[in-house]
Amino acid sequence: MSEDRAYSAPDWADVRRVLVIMAHPDDPDFSCAGTAILMARQGIQVTYMILTNGDKGNHNPLITRNQLILMRKEEQRRAAELCGVKEVLFMGEEDGFLRPTPEIRKRVTREIRRIRPELIICSNPERYFGENYINHPDHRNAGLVALEAIFPAADNPMFYPDMADEGYRPHKIQQLYVSGHAQPTVEVDITEVFEQKLQAILCHESQFEEPERLAEWMRKRSGELQPDGSVRYFERFKGLRFDRR
Ligand SMILES: [Zn+2]
């Protein structure tokens, strides 16, 4: 229930481009597709970056690893299209073994300098949420990869001076949204696009045996009863805001 907590409303007045950095195909859809849909409707250009290839996300022995990688890319592309997200970047790290290596930090930094987003959405780098949930190591490491690229690398010209030759100048973001955080501060009301978000989640057919049951479960689990008796849906983030130079 949200009544006893005060959240900030999102401020996208100065936001033209957004980069969503997540570990797996389907992570953007569960964590922030409603927000992405609302942003895209306002003309904000949203890009998804998927760090791993998702090759552990199915138990069917008849599907080969390479088939699964292709399926999951295709599912994520369809989901993104449904949300108005025009670009999806697949970074191809191995599912289940994502680490914040210097190599992936450089590749992510290059994309941040190329896309130049005002706002980045990433996953939570912490090990636990609250007292009953261990964060998936890929989600935690995806959060670390994102944070370490954002700071100190992306806006510091001493990092990767060779990128200047490619035309990618340092870039400082203005806002960061961390999803899956135990103490969120920003609340996005996604009620009007919740069904569209569900459809995006259901694009990930390789992940669900009973999609209709999942949809029902999500409708029930995520709806929040309001004092006026209505049910509303939200995505919440820990929000950080950075000074401009
Ligand atoms: Zn995931």
Q: Give 163 Cα–ligand 1 centroid separation in angstroms.
A: 30
Q: Is residue 87 part of a domain?
A: yes
Distance, in Å, from the CA atom of 191 to the CA atom of 230, rounded to the nearest integer, reads: 11
pLDDT digits (tens, 9 = 90+) for 144-155: 999 999 999 999
Q: 175 C-alpha to center of ligand 1: Å?
A: 23
Residue 6 in domain: no
How close is the Cα of 26 to the center of ligand 1, in Å?
7
Instruction: Using the predicted structure, report yes or no on whether residue 244 has a pLDDT greater than 80.
Output: no
Other beta carbons within 10 angstroms of residue 41's beta carbon come to 12
CATH number of 212's domain:
3.40.50.10320
Domain that holds residue 206: 17-241
- In this prediction, residue 2 has a pLDDT band, given cuts at 50, 70 and 90, of very low
- Per-residue pLDDT for 199 more than 70? yes
The distance from CA 105 to its chain's CA centroid, rounded to whole angstroms, is: 17
CA end-to-end span of the chain, whole Å? 38
Q: What is the mean pLDDT of the chain?
A: 94
In this prediction, residues 125-139 reach a mean pLDDT of 89
DSSP code, position 91: E
Which residues hold their Cβ within 5 A of ligand 1, which is an ion?
Answer: 24, 27
Q: Region 26-35: what's the mean pLDDT?
A: 98
- Considering the domain boundaries, does residue 197 fall inside one? yes
Ligand 1 center from residue 242 Cα (angstroms) = 27
Residue 79: closest CA among 69, 89, 68, 88 = 88
Question: Under 8 Å CB-to-CB from 212, ≥6 apart: which residues?
Answer: none
How far is Cα of residue 122 from the mean position of the Cα atoms in its chain? 5
141 CA → ligand 1 middle, Å: 11
pTM for the full predicted model? 0.95
Is residue 3 assigned to a domain? Answer: no
Number of domains observed in the structure of the chain: 1
Chain Cα centroid distance, residue 93: 16
Ligand 1 centre to CA of 31 (Å) is 9
18: nearest Cα among 56, 44, 52: 44
Asked, for residue 4, whether it belongs to a domain, the answer is: no
What does the pLDDT read at residue 4? 59
Residue 115 covered by a domain:
yes
What are the pLDDT digits (tens) for 203-232? 999 998 898 899 999 999 999 999 999 999
| Domain assignment of residue 12, yes or no | no
Cβ neighbours of residue 183 under 8 Å, at least 6 residues apart?
Answer: 238
Residue 223 CA, ligand 1 centroid: distance in Å:
22
Output the CA 94–ligand 1 centroid distance in Å. 13
Per-residue confidence at 194, pLDDT binned at 50, 70, 90? very high
Question: Is residue 72 in a domain?
Answer: yes
